[in-house]
A and B are shown apart, each in its own frame.
Chain A
Amino acid sequence: MDIVYAQPLKELLQVSTYFKEKTLLLVSGDIQYQKAKQSDMNPCLVLSEKDDLNNTKGKMTAVVGGSIKSNEFAVKIKADFLLQPSNTKQFFDLGLAQKLTDNNTTVVLMFEELLEANSFERHAIWKNFIEIVAYCKKKKTRFIVASGCKDPLHLRPRKVRESLAVMLGLEQNLAQKYLEDLDNLK
């Protein structure tokens, strides 16, 4: 399963069916959530600290990281996904990895952000994610690479995402297993 942002559903379905891959659609707000559900997509609510947490029961939740506060928020609400926990600065450590393992949270690298970064930022992001993978391996936290795109033509095949995870330091069988685990999520 791939994780992408809300976008033209028709084109997204065309590309994802070619790759024989389901997609998890990141939506913000109940209206978008219902829309995605109506069109047989798997929606996932993106939450921030300002959002109301009462309506999240039984729904998949994700938190966009990138600061100490937002990473802690993901731990606090036991989110299913922590997207992009660090950017050019490192906000991830062994303690956070342990907490995420306890909450059964998956750490996600959004490939689109790496793609959009310039060459100066790209190496910093890459270095931080090598560290994140090392922490995740130590604490057995689930880690995946997702397309994280807003354009259907930026969707990446599963093999590519798997090899990106392997390049970051994850073992091949673990990279495969974590992606398969995501397929089984309902």
Chain B
Amino acid sequence: MNIEKKKKATIPLSQRERKRYILLEVLNADIAEKDFYFGFWIELLSFFGSKGLAEINPRIVAYKENKAIIKCRRGKETDLIAGTAFITKIRNKKIIINPVISSGTIRTIKEVAKVFTGKAKDGLPEEKKAPETKESPKK
């Protein structure tokens, strides 16, 4: 029996589900990425339940230096922000989660957060920054 591999049809941009990005800031303690994932899911799941969480459809897009970008369904961002109020402790460390900004594009969030852009202080990206060379003393 021959199995034909069919290419998955891509959903047109206009028919895709609309989403929102939220930048969250973790205050008072340094939390590792894994711990944040765990604490975030547990608390939201206990408050919203499986159905509620499926409707919000949150996804942690990025986490760096106590800042997280969360993706969720459009129109449900207020629910997600309200849900973060219940996160008070992660790994027995008292924390406060502060929603900084919500936006329709990840670009705006990255511009505000700055830690995700990977730009060095002088404006050049970290990877492309020229290494320092030792100058030979002029004779």
Contact = CB atoms under 8 A, between A and B. Distances in A.
A159 B81 contact: yes
Contacts, number: 42
A85 to B, nearest CB: 20
Given A153-B28, A153-B96, A160 B88 contact: no
B85 A160 contact: yes
A36 B95 CA distance: 26
Nearest to B86: A115
B64 interface: no
A142 interface: no
Interface in A135-169: 151, 153-157, 159-161, 163-164, 166-167
Interface string B81-95: 110111010000011
Contacts of A156: 85, 96
B31 to A, nearest CB: 14
Contact of B78 (A151, A155, A166): A166
B27 interface: yes
B98 A167 contact: no
Nearest to B47: A122
Nearest to A149: B88
A159 to B, nearest CB: 5
A167 B82 contact: yes
Interface in B73-131: 78-79, 81-82, 84-86, 88, 94-99
Interface residues of B, number: 17
Contacts of B94: 151, 153
A76 to B, nearest CB: 33
Contacts of B85: 111, 115, 156, 160-161, 164
B129 to A, nearest CB: 32
Interface string A7-40: 0000000010011000000000000000000000
Task: Give the bracket for the number of chain A residues in contact with chain B.
Answer: 20 to 34
Given A18-B27, A119-B46, A167-B79, A157 B86 contact: no
Contact of A154 (B78, B82, B88, B99): B88
A40 to B, nearest CB: 23
Given A18-B27, A115-B88, A157 B78 contact: no
Contacts of B88: 115, 153-154
16 contacts: A111-B85, A115-B86, A115-B88, A153-B88, A156-B85, A157-B98, A157-B99, A159-B81, A160-B81, A161-B85, A163-B78, A163-B81, A163-B82, A164-B85, A167-B79, A167-B82
Interface of A: 15, 18-19, 111, 115, 119, 151, 153-157, 159-161, 163-164, 166-167, 172
Given A115-B85, A156-B96, A160-B82, 15 more contacts: A15-B96, A115-B88, A153-B94, A153-B95, A159-B81, A159-B99, A160-B81, A160-B84, A160-B97, A163-B78, A163-B81, A166-B78, A166-B82, A167-B78, A167-B79
